[in-house]
Structure 1
Amino acid sequence: MELHQLRYFVAAAEAGSITRAADRCRVSQPTLSQQLQRLEASLGHSLFDRLGRGVALTPAGAALLPRARRILAEADDAREHLAGEVERGVGTLRLGAIPTIAPYVLPSVIARLRRRFPSAGVEVREDLTEALVERLASGELDAAIVSTPIDHHGVRLRVLGSEPMLVVAPAASDVGEEGGLTLADLRERPRVALHEMHCLGQQISGFCSAKNLGASVACSTAQLATLLEFVRLGLGVSIVPEMAAVADRSRERRYTRFKRGGPRREIALATPAGRTPPATLEAVALFASDRLREMQAAASARFGG
C-alpha cells in the first residue's frame, strides 16, 4: 500500500468514475486503473464494483475510505509542518555533562535554550566520561559536554574552549600571598585530591606526578564541593578548574594562578558519529562557548591574568 495509491482510491471514490479520477489526479486512466488494481491486490479485497461508465465502493472500499482519508491527511500534515517543527526544535534533546562541568555550564545553557526553543524538551544526564561516551555511541544521548581527550570511533568532538587550573588554598594560608605561584611553591605542601574516577582527577594527578607536586595526598574525594571544604578546613591545597573558582563565593578560600606551566583542560561537545544532529544542538554549542567566555572574563576580573 502506497500513498499515491490511496490518493487515487479516494479520488475514484469521490468522483465515482475512473476517468474523472484520472483527470483530477493528472494521470492517464490506464495508470490509475493499474494502481488501483495493485492496491486491491495488496489488501486482498476488491474495492470497487465496475458499473458501466462509473464505479461504486464495495463494503471493503467503504471501510477503507475513512481510513485512507485519515492517512492522507496525516501525510499532508507531516509534509506541511515537519520542517517548521524541526527548526523549532520540537522533541527532546538528550544532553549529558561530566560532574566537573555540569553545575557551572549547564544551567546557563539550558536557560538560554528554553528561551530560544520553547517547544523543545531537555533531558539532562550528569555522569562520568566513560558512561557518557558509551551512551553517545549507543545513541542514548544526543550530545555531552566533556573534557578531552576522548578516543572513541563512535563519538566526534567539537572543541568549545579551554580553561586553566588554579590553586586553591585556605584564605589564612601564605600560598599565593604575593600573587602567582611557581611549581616550587607547592612542592612540599599536602594536597587534597579529586578522585581519579573523574577525568579531571586523572589529569591533575598526572600533572602533579610529572611535576613532583604535593609530597603527600592528605585526602581524596569524589566531589569538588567536598574537596573545597577540605581545603577550607586546612587539610591541604588543591588544583581546581577556573570555572569552579569563579563559582566559589567563600571568603575562606584563596585562588591563585600559576605563573607559568600550569595545567589546562580543553572542553568539547561530544556527539554520536554518523548521526544527524537535532536543530537545537548548534545552539547548545554556541551557548556553552558563550558561557565559557563569560566565566573566563569573570576569572580575569577576580584573579587577574
Structure 2
Amino acid sequence: MDLRDLRYFETIAELQHLGRAAERLHRSQPALTSSIRRLEADCGAALFEKSGRGIRLTEAGRVLLKWARRMRFDVEDARRELGTLGAGLSGHVRLGIVPTAAQFLLPEVARQLLEEAPGVTLHTAVGLIDTLGPRLRAGELDLMVATLLSPEPGFRSHALAEDLIVVAASEHHEIHQVRPALRLADLDGHAWALQPPGAPTRDWLDHTFERHGLPRPHVQVETTMLLMLPALIARTRLLSFISRHHLQGPNRVPGLKEVPVLEAQMRRRLVVTSREDAFLSPAAQRLLDLFVSAAQTA
C-alpha cells in the first residue's frame, strides 16, 4: 500500500465527501478515485459506500482507517525520533491545555522549560477536552493537560492536581447576605454567566439542579471564553461556576467571593496525557516531567 494513498484515504474518510476531500488535498476527484481503487484492490474489498449526497466507510473501510492512522503515527514518530538524534532538548512541542491549567500551571512550567532549553518552541492550544481529546488522538498534539475522564485504551495519564469548581459572585452580590451556609435552592432565581451546554462544568451544574428538583440555572450570559468569567462576574450581579483557584492565593481575582453551597461543588482531577505508544521527543518528555514536578510541589 502506498502511504500517499493512505493519507488521501484518511482525509476522504474524515470528510465523507470526495469533492471536499479534493479541495482540501488540492487533488482532482479522478486522482482520488484512482487512489481509492488501488487501496480496494490491495484490500480485496470496497472501502466506501454511498450515503445520501456523500459517502461513508464500509466495515472494511473502518478497519483500514484504524491501521492507516496507526501507520501514519509510526512514520511521523520515526521521522521525529530520527530528527532528535543528537539534538538534545530542542525542537517543537505541541501542547493542548484546558483554560484553568493554562492560567495556573502553564506559566511556571513553561518558564522552567525555556530556561533549560532555549531552543525549544512551544505551541499551545487552549480549549476544552471535547476539542483537545480528538486532536491528541489524531496525533496533532504531543501532550494534553485536561480533566481526567474514563480510562481509554491507547493513552497514558499522570495525575497533576485536584481542582474544585464552586459558585462565585461579586463580593457585593446580595446572595452573600442570605445566610452563612446556603442551600442549592437559594441560588434559584438568580442570573448566571456560564459556558454553553456540552461543557463539562455546565452540564454538571445543570444536572445537579435537576437532581434536586430545581429548574436549571437562568443563564443571562453564555460564553466559550472561560477565562473571561471571573472578571465578568466581579463587575456584574451574575453568579458563575469557576475554579476555586480564582478565589484564593496569589492569582485570586479581586472583587470575587465564593458562594458556599456544598451541593454545588464539583471536584475534578487534572492530568497530563500522551498517546501510549507515541514517540515523545526529549523536549516533550521534559515538559511532561515538569508538569508532574510542579503539581507535586504545589
TM-score by length of 1: 0.58
Distance 1:208 1:271, change over 3 A: farther
Partner of 1:9: none
Partner of 1:186: 187
Q: Are 2:184 and 2:209, in contact at CA under 8 Å, matched by a contact in 1? A: no
Q: Work out the CA distance in 2 between the residues paired with 1:256 and 1:103.
A: 22
> What amino acid sits opposite 1:232 in the alignment?
A
Partner of 1:24: none
- Where structure 1 has 5 or more consecutive residues not aligned to the other structure, the ranges are 1-77, 296-305
Distance 1:245 1:93, change over 3 A: same
SS of equivalent residue, structure 1 residue 175: helix
Q: Work out the CA distance in 2 between the residues paired with 1:204 and 1:181.
A: 16
* Percent identity of equivalent pairs: 18
- Superposition RMSD in Å: 3.3
Q: Are 1:166 and 1:245, in contact at CA under 8 Å, matched by a contact in 2? A: no
Partner of 1:221: 223
SS of equivalent residue, structure 1 residue 94: strand
> What amino acid sits opposite 1:186 in the alignment?
L
> How many Å apart are 1:225 and its aligned residue?
4.0
> How many Å apart are 1:220 and its aligned residue?
1.8
Q: Are 2:165 and 2:241, in contact at CA under 8 Å, matched by a contact in 1? A: yes
Distance 1:274 1:98, change over 3 A: same
1:126 counterpart = 2:129 = no
> How many Å apart are 1:216 and its aligned residue?
2.4
Q: Work out the CA distance in 1 between the residues paired with 2:295 and 2:197.
A: 24
1:254 counterpart = 2:257 = yes
Partner of 2:197: 196
SS of equivalent residue, structure 1 residue 101: helix
> How many Å apart are 1:163 and its aligned residue?
1.1
> How many Å apart are 1:195 and its aligned residue?
1.6
Show CA shifts across 1:228-268 (max 9, x none): 344234342111112333434322x2224444662111111
Alignment of 1:122-201 (within 5 A): 122-149=122-149, 152-176=152-176, 181-201=182-202
> How many Å apart are 1:213 and its aligned residue?
7.0
> What amino acid sits opposite 1:279 in the alignment?
P
Q: Work out the CA distance in 1 between the residues paired with 2:153 and 2:254.
A: 42
> How many Å apart are 1:272 and its aligned residue?
1.5
Q: Are 1:179 and 1:256, in contact at CA under 8 Å, matched by a contact in 2? A: no
Partner of 1:263: 266
1:105 counterpart = 2:109 = no
Distance 1:119 1:134, change over 3 A: same
> What amino acid sits opposite 2:172 in the alignment?
A
> What amino acid sits opposite 1:173 in the alignment?
H
The one of 272, 277, 284 equivalent to 1:274 is 277
> How many Å apart are 1:215 and its aligned residue?
4.7
TM-score by length of 2: 0.59
Show CA shifts across 1:189-223 (max 9, x none): 33322223533333333334334476523332222
